[in-house]
Amino acid sequence: MSISWPLVIFYVIALLTLCCAVLMLSFRKVIYMALTIGGVFVGCAAVYFLLGADFVGVAQILIYAGAITILIMFAIMLTNHEAAEPPLSWNLKNVASAVGCVLLAVVLLLAVRSTNWPGGGATTDINGGNTNPIVIGLMLFKQYTIPFELVSVLLIVALVGAVILAQDRKEDE
């Protein structure tokens, strides 16, 4: 059996991403958490590249790893709070959550592994000869115009909501 390099790379990336995620949960300092979550974002981007979705991968790096992680860091610096949390205690609740998550992952993994998935080989061209960004653009502005427009409303709501919540107000209850 020959070694399939993409598979090996996938496992490496997945392992790194998972490590970052677990680390993020176990760190007690907020700034480290922000850094490790950046690692998770980059790991995801690497998976996208591996799957041939370069546009999504680039967008992932630009938006998540770039913008969002940096924003989180800024927020941490500007709010200037006590940047450490109490250490993790293994009470019933946390144990239950951890066991539940692991078992859920096991169940899903078993289900996924036991399935004979559909789909053609690696050479199937689902883009109709176009490059990724062109296809995405065409989809967005033809078939998916309405969700696209709704997302713009969604962003406005999020923006206004953030302003409302951040604004200082005197005459509340």
Partner 1 sequence: MVQYAWLVPLLPLVAYVFLLFLGRKAPEGIVAGVSVVLTAISFVISLFVFQAVGSHPNGNDTYVFHWLTVGSRNFDVGFQVTHLNALMLVIVTLVSALVLLFSKGYMHRDERFPVFYQYLNLFVFSMLALVLSPNLLQLYIFWEMVGLCSYLLVGFWYFKPEAALAAKKSFIVTRIGDTGMFAGIILLFLASGSFDYSTIFSAATAGTLSFHGMSSGTVATVAALLIFMGAVGKSAQFPLHIWLPDAMEGPTPVSALIHAATMVAAGVYLVARAYPLFVSAPAALHTVAWIGGITALLASLIALTQRDIKRVIAYSTVSQLGYMMMALGVGAYAYGVFHLMTHAFFKALLFLAAGSVIHALDTQDLFEMGGLRRKMPLTTYTFLAGALALAGIVPFAGFWSKDDILGATLASGHPVLYAFGLLAAFCTAFYIFRVFFLAFTGQPRDEAKYEHAHEGGWVMAVPLVILAAFATLAGFFNTPLNHHGLERYLFADYAAPHSAAGTDVVATIGQTYPENIGLMAVSVAVGLFGILVAALFYWRPGKGAERAARMFSLPYQVSFHKFFVDEAYEWFFVGGGKRLAALVRWFDVYVLDGLVQLLGRLGSVGGRLLRFSQTGQIQTYSAWATVGLLVFVAIAVFRIGGVFG
Partner 2 sequence: MANLDMLHQPYWSTMGPMIVVAVAGFVVMILEFVFRRGDRRWLAALSALGVLVALVVAFANWGTGHQGLLQNTVMLDSFSSVFSVLILISAFLVLLLTLDYRGRERLPAEHTYLILFGVVGALAMATATDLVTLYVGLELLSVASYVLVAVRKRSIRSVEGGIKYLLMGAIGSAVLLYGMSFIYGLAGTTNVLQLSTQGAVMLSGYPAITVIGFLFMLIGMGFKLSLVPFHMWTPDVYDGAPTAISSFLATLSKVAAFGMLLRLLVFIFNQSTGPLFYWAGIIAAITMIVGNFAALPQRNMKRLLGFSSVAQAGYTLVPFALFGSSQMNQWPGLFDSISFYLFAYTFMTIGAFAILHIVERAKQSVESDALVGLYRQSPWLAVALSVFVLSLAGMPLTAGFLGKFYIFADTVHMHALWLGIVLFATSVVSFYYYIGWLRKVFQPLPTGAAEWAVAEVAAAAGAPVGPGQGPARSEAGVAGSAADGGSGGSLAVSPVMHVLIALCVIGTLALGIVPAILLHPLGTLQWFY
In the chain the first and final C-alpha atoms are separated, in Å, by: 71
* 145 is a site residue for partner 2 (CB under 8 A): yes
**In the complex, minimum distance from the CB of residue 138 to partner 2, in angstroms, rounded to a whole number:** 9
**In the complex, minimum distance from the CB of residue 104 to partner 1, in angstroms, rounded to a whole number:** 5
Among 78, 82, 86, 93, binds partner 1 (CB under 8 A): 93
3-state secondary structure of 115: coil
Among 12, 75, 88, 104, binds partner 1 (CB under 8 A): 104
The secondary structure of the chain in percent helix, strand, coil, rounded to multiples of 5, reads: 70, 0, 30
Among 3, 78, 92, 112, binds partner 2 (CB under 8 A): 112
Q: Is the dihedral of CA 84, 86, 89, 92 positive or negative?
A: negative
Among 101, 139, 150, 157, binds partner 1 (CB under 8 A): 101
Distance separating alpha carbons of residues 159 and 153, to the nearest angstrom: 10
**In the complex, minimum distance from the CB of residue 136 to partner 2, in angstroms, rounded to a whole number:** 13
In 3D, which of 16, 20, 42 has the Cα closest to residue 8? 16
Residue with tokens 């033809």: 142
2 phi, psi to nearest 5 deg? -85, 155
* 81 is a site residue for partner 2 (CB under 8 A): no
* 88 is a site residue for partner 1 (CB under 8 A): no
* 82 is a site residue for partner 2 (CB under 8 A): no
User: Considering CB under 8 A, how many residues would be counted as binding partner 1?
Assistant: 13
